Amino acid sequence: MSDDTGPRTLREWVEWFRTTDEGAVVWVREVVTSAGAVLAVGLLLFAISGVWPPMVAVESSSMHPNMNTGDLVFVMEEHRLSPEFATAETGVVTYQTGEREGYTKFSAPGDVIIYRPDNRSGTPIIHRARFWVDDGENWYDRANRSYVGSADNCNELRYCPAPHAGFITKGDNENTNRRYDQVNGLSPPVRPGWVVGTAEVGIPLVGYVKLCASSGPCPLTATAAPGAPPATVDPAPAFEASARPANATAVAG
């Protein structure tokens, strides 16, 4: 590199950018380096999980106490590392099978799945797969009577007999989610093709980085009226725990 004329070739410019101590360039270099590190972490997580984005932020309380609002959850493609007793070829272990096999995720039997009802767009739902039903099955007879509301038989349930094969799902929160999603009308039985992946591990509070940067609940901006429940508690029956996708920046942040 010439001291009189400065860098000329691309290689000289790259070397100058890498070594110069000029303030503005140093700042840009740090930003580029940080962005590269974030991208590398995101690509590594994607390679492991097979799902993009590989992290989701929980934005409601319907999986409490096993997941909480603001948790950042690592998601894996459901067929990866699935046990041999997973349901058929879905890669998902239900609550009923998990009880029998001693298989637990997030402190309870079975897998927690992230799914999109009818494959629709928008924020997916993160709930536990309770049991599998076949097309046309009267699944009332297999259901936990505590979770079917006032229904006394299959005909009094919206999706019974099952309109197609799929998973019956439910949030873990026994205070706000007293019924199956299919009883509340949140979703028909969840087809395997609607499943985004299974929740593998959660990091408390980190998901608020994403939620506060978007339209999700944020403890920095939430205010409570006199006599209202704390902002971190969902005061109304929340039939779903939304899982807002978290991009690589939120993961690294």
Whether 20 and 125 map to the same domain: the answer is no
Whether 240 and 196 map to the same domain: the answer is yes
Whether 169 and 123 map to the same domain: the answer is yes
Whether 201 and 162 map to the same domain: the answer is yes
Domain coverage including residue 98: 52-219+234-252
Whether 68 and 141 map to the same domain: the answer is yes
Short-list 211, 247, 250, CA closest to 232: 211
- Chain position carrying tokens 């229904």: 151
Distance CA 236, CA 58 (A): 17
Q: Is the pTM of this model over 0.95?
A: no
Q: Does residue 110 contact residue 96 with C-beta atoms inside 8 Å?
A: yes
Domain assignment present for residue 137? The answer is yes
Domain assignment present for residue 103? The answer is yes
Whether 69 and 161 map to the same domain: the answer is yes
Whether 142 and 215 map to the same domain: the answer is yes
The segments of the chain whose pLDDT lies below 70 read 1-6, 34-35, 37-42, 45-46, 222-253
Residue 38 confidence (pLDDT): 63
Q: Does residue 70 contact residue 94 with C-beta atoms inside 8 Å?
A: no
Domain assignment present for residue 224? The answer is no
Whether 44 and 61 map to the same domain: the answer is no
Residue 200 confidence (pLDDT): 95
**pLDDT of 156-186, one tens digit each?**
999 999 999 999 999 999 999 999 999 999 9
Domain assignment present for residue 29? The answer is yes
